[in-house]
Structure 1
Amino acid sequence: MKSIIRRLQNKELEMLIYFRDFCEKHNLKFYLCGGGLIGAIRHKGFIPWDDDLDVFMPREDYERLAVLWKKYADTKRYKYCRTDKNVNYHDAGASIRDENTTFINRHSVNEDICHGLALEIMPIDGCPRGKFNRMLQLFYAMVFALFNVQRLPDNKGKLFRKIASLVYSVIPNKSVRYFIWKFAEKQMMRYKWDKVDEVTELIGSLKGMKLRHPKSDFEEVVYVSFEGERIPLMKGYDRYLRLIWGDYMKLPPEKDRKAKHDAVFIDMDKS
């Protein structure tokens, strides 16, 4: 198992380096997040049992990436993937996937999509000041998550899972679901980066969605060593990590030291 995880990590690192170089060339800002962020600080690289990497991007850069990648990246090697009207990846964010590998998640086992190993990308959005507007933004974010991902959520609690099951049964039509999630997405991302003082992550866990962060924490990057490579983090990474995980330098119990993805098939040599 350790050898498989290390091979996954090596492939993820190759993708991260290519992605970093691409973003620097095209003036796009990103930062490691999730387990990769903890790993960068605590282990100077991957958490030993982690099998993936995630990055944040300011919304404007996140949207620009979709256009620039298709024009200038090596798309035969790394494909930009994001749910649209015709293809559903059952993930709310975008990803860059290695076309020369196979990593099939259980939630997508029946989908005719690119099943390559993924570098996951999530936007950071502007957060409104007023309580009402913030509640409305969170409402639209939940609606977006429901109708974009179109699978029962693993990280938003039992109540949300029950609500999702009910909504899917009431609105089974894919075209209607698409219309709803596109409208909700437009509403939740309407607070522009240069007009706000706080930012938020609207894609991911329920806990993360509810948090607000000073924009200043995300306006600048700091570079750290990650597996011997210079990789950017958000300037306010310490405050962010403590808010999400508390004492993030402390190792979790042994029973929790396992990869989070539920893969049904992995092949690091073939598409």
Structure 2
Amino acid sequence: MDEETIRKLQNKMLEMLLYFDEFCKENRLKYYLCGGGLIGVIRHKGFIPWDDDIDLFMPRSDYERLSEIWDKKADTSRYMYCRTDLTHIYHDAGASIRDINTTEINRHSIHEDICHGIALEIMPIDGCPKSRISRGFQLFYAFTFNLFNAQRLPDNKGGLVRFASGVLLEVFKSPKVRYRIWKRAERKMSKYRWDDCSEVTELVGSIKGMLLRHPKEDFENVVYKDFEGYPIPVMAGYDRYLRLIWGDYMQLPPVEKRVAKHDAVCVDLERSYVEYRGKYYCANN
């Protein structure tokens, strides 16, 4: 995507974020910017110029409640709540809110008959047990969940991880078996209640993020920061979190790394993804 297309995409995602922000306020749901959006709000007071997505965190209880109320209370003529289940595979382990009147088809999903609209990506924050043994089991279940829920080889995780993941996916090919595996793993990894823990952790996403533990107070409260001219919530401990993940996050990356991270085969801000069925996704070739 060229700079003009990325900026138009960012404007559409901002529109979606503002709707989501209002929905969360009305329904008393807590969320915060994370990923590149969090760096953007601190370093650029908006989008990183080359960023092509918005990632959000929600405490597990809010994350699950969102799935329960979205279809009842949201404008589903515009936005769809999406999350992998037995019959819909999004190849991302989190949830998303997608604009059904737009198109962004990622290469890893071209065979799936799912919603391919522009997305806000949402990931849960879970309670983290103190015991090393319990934490070890939690990480085991988290790795299992991410692999069998996403059902694709992980990106940028190294050759050994990709090889081992490929072997496991080859052994467990049945969609029903994979579904049972990741559903059980999800229950096991998320069983530690937020209120009972002094630390929290992200169990969906990067391996580096999964291995980190964070003081609960960093995520218990939010502060509002200027994002493209609008006050958007971030976790109170955003500085400590960003330094753990990226180090000196205020330093711009090398020029060659200032690129959009998604591998999209089709982006259309004016037409719904359903118009591209059989051409860019679910096509015979």
Task: Tell me what 2:17 maps to.
Answer: 16
Alpha-carbon contact 1:144-1:180 (below 8 Å) kept: yes
Alpha-carbon contact 1:57-1:123 (below 8 Å) kept: yes
Q: Equivalents in 2 of 1:147, 1:253: separation in Å?
A: 34
- Shift, 1:148, TM fit: 0.6
Task: Tell me what 2:230 maps to.
Answer: 229
Q: Equivalents in 2 of 1:204, 1:67: separation in Å?
A: 22
Q: TM-score, normalised by structure 2?
A: 0.94
Task: Tell me what 2:89 maps to.
Answer: 88
Task: Tell me what 1:127 maps to.
Answer: 128
Q: Equivalents in 1 of 2:50, 2:14: separation in Å?
A: 15
AA paired with 2:217? S
1:7-56 CA deviation, whole Å, 9 max, x = no partner? 00000000100000000000000000000000000000000000110000
Question: Following superposition of structure 1 onto structure 2, how do residues 63-74 of structure 1 map, counting pairs within 5 Å?
Answer: 63-74=64-75
Cα root mean square deviation, aligned: 0.6
- Shift, 1:158, TM fit: 2.2
- Shift, 1:68, TM fit: 1.1
AA paired with 2:264? A
- Shift, 1:159, TM fit: 1.8
Question: Following superposition of structure 1 onto structure 2, how do residues 28-177 of structure 1 map, counting pairs within 5 Å?
Answer: 28-177=29-178
Counterpart check, 1:192 vs 2:212: no
Q: Which moved more, 1:117-126 or 1:156-165?
A: 156-165
Q: Equivalents in 1 of 2:144, 2:248: separation in Å?
A: 32
AA paired with 1:260? K
Task: Tell me what 2:179 maps to.
Answer: 178
Q: TM-score, normalised by structure 1?
A: 0.99
Q: Equivalents in 2 of 1:149, 1:223: separation in Å?
A: 32
Task: Tell me what 2:214 maps to.
Answer: 213
AA paired with 2:258? R
AA paired with 2:67? A
Instruction: Count how many residue pairs are aligned between Structure 1 and Structure 2.
Output: 271
1:44-102 CA deviation, whole Å, 9 max, x = no partner? 00000001100000000000000111110001100000000111000000000001100
Alpha-carbon contact 1:50-1:259 (below 8 Å) kept: yes
* SS across alignment from 1:96: strand
Q: Equivalents in 2 of 1:51, 1:4: separation in Å?
A: 10
- Shift, 1:156, TM fit: 3.0
Q: Equivalents in 2 of 1:167, 1:253: separation in Å?
A: 36
- Shift, 1:155, TM fit: 3.7
Q: Equivalents in 1 of 2:25, 2:18: separation in Å?
A: 11
Q: Equivalents in 2 of 1:219, 1:159: separation in Å?
A: 36
1:139-165 CA deviation, whole Å, 9 max, x = no partner? 000110111110111043322211111
In the TM superposition, structure 1's runs of 4+ consecutive aligned residues that sit over 4 Å from their partners are: none
* SS across alignment from 2:154: coil
* SS across alignment from 1:120: strand
* SS across alignment from 1:230: strand
Q: Equivalents in 2 of 1:125, 1:155: separation in Å?
A: 24
- Shift, 1:169, TM fit: 1.2
Percent identical residues: 66
Q: Equivalents in 2 of 1:140, 1:117: separation in Å?
A: 30
- Shift, 1:197, TM fit: 0.3
Task: Tell me what 1:265 maps to.
Answer: 266
Q: Equivalents in 2 of 1:185, 1:158: separation in Å?
A: 26
